[in-house]
Structure 1
Amino acid sequence: MDAFELQRKLSTPSSKQHFLKIENTFIDISNGLLLNDLDIDDEINVIQFINCEFSGPELLFEKINNPKLEIFFRSCKFDCRLYFTGLAIKGLKFIQTIKLGDLLDIRSSKLEDLYFTGNKGINPEITGFMDISHNHINKAISFEFLNHVGGEFLFENNRINNFSASQEIQYLTNFSDAKLHNASFSNSSFDQDVKFDRMKLSYDKFGSARSFTECQFQSAYFNEVDFGERCFFNGSIFNKNALFIFCGNGLETLADFSGCRFFKDVYFNSTQFKSLTSKNSYFFGMCSFEETKFKEIEFERNIFEKAAFFDGIEISELDSCSRKTLRTIKQELQRTENRIDYNIFKAAELNAYKKELKKNQWEEAFILWLNNLSSKHGLNWLRSSIFTLTIAMLSYIAYFITENYSSEVSLNIDSINYFLIGYFKFLIPTYNPPFQNGLSLWFQYLPYIIGKIFITYGIYQTIQAFRKFRL
């Protein structure tokens, strides 16, 4: 079939019928083909191409205004560029497409339904530039199981209403199980629920970096999504619940949720990202980062109206986090009474603060260094106990020498007993000097006083470490 014959079938069907089916046909459009409102009979409501092959430079559907018209392409092969511009029709559907040319352009159209789907089994690999932009889709939209592995997939500046006059049918926008290459959904508005569950994104080194920026969602489901190398939601708005559960691909994704608004609850549970950045974002509902894993994380100037849960969060490069980030997480852990993780982030915040100190603030730096050395800022009672016993021994040896420097000491059971009894007495902060002469010489006071100070300090650190789980 050539272009002229196809145009004749569409404009003057053999009988007045509402359904036109063309199947198992090779369609030669070697000079290109433009179809508009005048080329399609008003009586046709459904045009269906089944197992057809289109060959030529381009096939254009332009400025077709027929609210009852549906165009189906099932199991078709396209060796041409496809353009759908300025349409106002009921539906445009591509089902189990075998091959796509180097360009699919759907823009500035008003549709009730838009499908480009595969099946649950093995799907052909689709390559090419898919540009679906500036459209208004009223009801159902699905790209489920689409296997797009090369080129670009742009779904930008679209408005999806998913409107049901009866309010009994809840239409859903569905990208579940799709594989998309160099994908961008920026500036799109999803006015009803949208599912991206198990979607897999991949990017070329210099591919699009826009991802999901400046989008608007109602309920959004991103469970088990592999975002690839990047996951950018900058400036997006989530009006209802958002779920990012079990996302990740082995700590390779750079995620940025800066400038976002979450008006309901959001869950990132069990998600793994290489990095997570959130600046100037508002969380008006509950927020959960439970059992998440990151290499690094950055929070700055975020507002959490309700509780944010960070139970079981793991950050492998915790020392690289800023003090603001650590303080934010610490405050939310304290708010939810998670004492265990609170202590970890409290210690990390103190270490981060130490890095910020200037040279003239050496006193504070020394105290923070000593707290970390002695007990990891109150986290390790065993470390503080060893610190106390070690410092006490060093101070006691110095004091022992000043007390017995003129005496002849031999190594035997009695001398060892004499040394150890003095050491244990020395460990008691309020105990008098353990030897007979006491503090008879001025230079004996130096190791004695220093030792008592650090023993008292070490005992306090040990007590603090034992009390780290108190509420």
Structure 2
Amino acid sequence: MIYTKDNFINTLDVIGVIENETIDLTGEEIIIENNFLHSLEFSNCEIIANKIEFFGIRNNLLEIRFYNCSIQAELTFTNCIIQGIYFEKTKSLKSLNLQKGYNNEHIFEIEQLQFKDTFKTTNSLTTDITIRGCLFKNEFSFHNINHSIGSIKLIRNKFGYDNIEFEEHNFMMQNSTLNNIWFHKNCFYNFISFTNCLFTRNTTDTFKANSFTQNIFNFIYFNQCSFNNNETFTKCEFKDYSYFENLIDINSGILNFIDCIFHQYISFNNSQLNKFSIERSTFKDIASFQQTNFQLIKIDRVNFEKGAYFDEISLNIKGCDRISLRTIKQQLQKAENRIDYNRFRGYELQAYYQELDWKNNFKDKAILWATKASTGFEHSWTKALRFVLTGAAIFYSLFFFSENYMLSPNLDFSSLKDFLSGYFRFLIVTDFYNPLEEKRIFIDNSNTIGWIIFILGKIVLAFGIYEMIQAFRKFKA
């Protein structure tokens, strides 16, 4: 059938179903304002037009369905009250716009919007989706969508109603690839789920990051998601439980939370990310980061009012700043996790050591250098033992040669027995007698160099023993 603008609208009004047709309205802008009394269905159709707009329709029983269609047109719904819009196995879609209009009296209410099995196993979705000022009463769902080019913008929408049970609504985006996401000033009054989604950003687009800005979330489920660029939550409010678990970064991206408020428990457990950043945010309840793996973490001006769990967290500390490491250390201390607390105490000292320079911070740098040389910042007793034995051997050897050079030039230096006997005696930190003499005799006063070496050696020995004792006590309260 050859369609014109008029008979196209008339067919929808009379029959309501168009199947296996090519609707070629090239260059036409079609406005449909009929309050249909039945459902509209497009099945296995190719629709070509400049723009098709459903405007001002008021029929809360009307369902509009597109099944296995190719839509080469700007598809727009403005100022409507309808039951639902459904897309299933769509082959192509130029653009989709849902909007309430610009007059304060205009509204857009819909029970259900559903995308299903679109492009997941065939071509990718190359379209811009803009949804602005709409109320979704019951369902908003994206299932098995491969959206790799274009953008998805949700602006000033409401999902569900306040004080309504979560299980009555179905708001979710799952098992999908979502490109260039921007969610701005939306209210998710009820449960919203992002499950097993890949968030991407097309680098040719003006988007700098996939972003969620100034949204209100109640119960949010953001599990098993991955992203290949930056993902940012800015000035968002999380009123109920929030789960960001098992997240994966596949291309050195960054997950940012900036100026956010979390009223209830939030979990980031078992996530593996390149960079994780929280800035100027408040956690009013417990936050959990257990068994996470971050290449870099930044925590800046964050208030954990009831504490945070960082058990078994793994970091590449070379890129982490000292403030973030100290914040994690403090939370581990509050949680009485002595094992991870000591680990992050060492990380903090190591970061501080790297910040200092010898010229302007000689005293602190020297102390931390001695700690690094003796036990390492991880307070290893085995390293302390090596430090004691090696340091003692070096100073004792210098003392041994000074004594024999100055006092006993005829001594047989091949005598290993005398050398070792004196060495083991030198290891007794409280023994200040000459370790080369059988009797309890002090070092000859004429050997000034020997005295200096001897005293310095005892200081190094005492320091090493002290550090080894501290290493054994690192798990003590």
Which of 21, 31, 36 does residue 35 from structure 1 map onto?
31
Write out per-residue CA displacement over residues 213-233 of structure 1, whole angstroms, 9 at most, x where no aligned residue.
222211111111012211111
Matches within 5 A, 1:327-366: 327-357=326-356, 359-366=359-366
SS in 2 for 1:447: helix
CA distance in 2, matches of 1:48, 1:198: 30
Moved more, 433-442 or 107-116: 433-442
Distance in 1 (alpha carbons) for counterparts of 2:274 and 2:184: 22
Higher strand share: 2
With structure 2 as the length reference, what TM-score do the two structures score? Answer: 0.90
Instruction: Find the aligned partners of 1:206 and 1:300 in 2 and give their Cα distance.
Output: 31
Q: Is the 8 A contact 1:299 1:324 kept in 2?
A: yes
> CA, structure 1 residues 142+428, in 2 after alignment: closer, same or farther (shift >3 Å)?
same
Query: Is residue 284 of structure 1 aligned with residue 277 of structure 2?
Result: no
1:199 aligns with 2:197: yes
Aligned with residue 105 of structure 1, among 97, 120, 134: 97
What is the correspondence of 1:263-302 to structure 2 with a 5 Å cutoff? 263-302=263-302
- Determine the C-alpha separation between the residues in 2 that align with 1:395 and 1:164: 76
Q: Aligned pairs, how many?
A: 457
> 1:143: Cα distance to partner?
1.0
Secondary structure, aligned partner of 1:360 = coil
Is the contact made by 1:251 and 1:272 (CA closer than 8 Å) also made in structure 2?
no
Query: Where does the alignment leave 5 or more consecutive residues of structure 2 unmatched?
Result: 101-107
Runs of 4 or more, structure 1, over 4 Å off, are: 162-165
Structure 1 residue aligned with 2:84: 91
Residue 444 (structure 2) pairs with residue 440 (structure 1)? yes
8 Å CA contact retained: 1:31, 1:57: yes
Distance 1:157 1:356 in 2: 45
2:59 match: 66
Is the CA contact 1:378–1:461 (under 8 Å) kept in the aligned structure 2?
A: no
**Cα distance, 1:411 vs structure 2:** 4.1
Measured after TM superposition, the shift of residue 369 of structure 1 is 1.0
| Higher deviation after alignment, 355-364 or 282-291 | 355-364
- Secondary structure of the residue that 1:192 maps to in structure 2? coil
**Helix, strand or coil for the counterpart of 2:92?**
coil
Matches within 5 A, 1:202-351: 202-207=200-205, 208=207, 209-250=209-250, 252-316=252-316, 318-351=317-350
**Which of the residues 463, 466, 470 maps onto 2:469?**
463
Separation in structure 1 between the aligned mates of residue 120 and residue 398 of structure 2, nearest angstrom: 79
Q: Shift in Å at residue 119 of structure 1?
A: 6.7
| Match in the other structure for 2:46 | 53
Corresponding residue of 2:105: none
TM alignment of 1:158-173, pairs within 5 A = 158-161=157-160, 170-173=168-171
Q: Quote the residue 1:17 is aligned against.
A: none
Question: What are the Cα deviations for residues 271-328 of structure 1, in whole angstroms up to 9, with x where unaligned?
Answer: 1111111111111222111121111111111111223111221112x02211110100
Tell me the amino acid that sits aligned with residue 89 of structure 1: I
What is the CA–CA distance in structure 2 between the aligned matches of 1:393 and 1:276, rounded to whole Å? 47
TM-aligned CA deviation for residue 159 of structure 1: 1.6
1:6 pairs, out of 2, 5, 8, with 8
Are the structure 2 counterparts of residues 169 and 383 from structure 1 closer, same or farther at C-alpha, using a change threshold of 3 Å? closer
Contact in 2 for aligned 1:278/1:302 (Cα 8 Å): yes
TM-score (norm 1): 0.91
Shift of 1:450: 0.9
Tell me if the contact between 1:138 and 1:163 (Cα under 8 Å) persists in the aligned partners. Answer: no
Q: Do 2:227 and 2:250's aligned partners in 1 also have CA atoms closer than 8 Å?
A: no
The 3-state SS of whatever aligns with 2:348 is helix
Which blocks of at least 5 consecutive residues in structure 1 are unaligned?
15-19
Q: Is the 8 A contact 1:371 1:378 kept in 2?
A: no
1:6-25 → structure 2 map (5 Å cutoff): 6-11=8-13, 13=14, 20-25=16-21
Does the CA contact (< 8 Å) of 2:130 and 2:152 recur in 1?
Answer: yes
Which letter maps to 1:184?
Answer: W
Give me the whole-angstrom Cα distance separating, in 1, the residues matched to 2:173 and 2:310: 29
1:114 corresponding residue in structure 2: 113
Which whole-Å CA distance do the structure 2 matches of 1:373 and 1:113 have between them? 66
Q: What one-letter code is carried by the residue in structure 1 that aligns with 2:178?
A: L
The DSSP-based 3-state class of the residue aligned with 1:270 is coil
- Whether the 8 Å CA contact 1:123–1:146 is kept in 2: the answer is no
CA RMSD in angstroms, aligned pairs only: 2.2
In structure 2, distance between residues paired with 1:25 and 1:120? 21
CA distance in structure 1 between the partners assigned to 2:119 and 2:56 by the alignment: 34
Q: Which moved more, 1:236-245 or 1:150-159?
A: 150-159
Deviations 1:303-361 (A, max 9, x none): 11223111221112x02211110100111111222222212211121122234446333
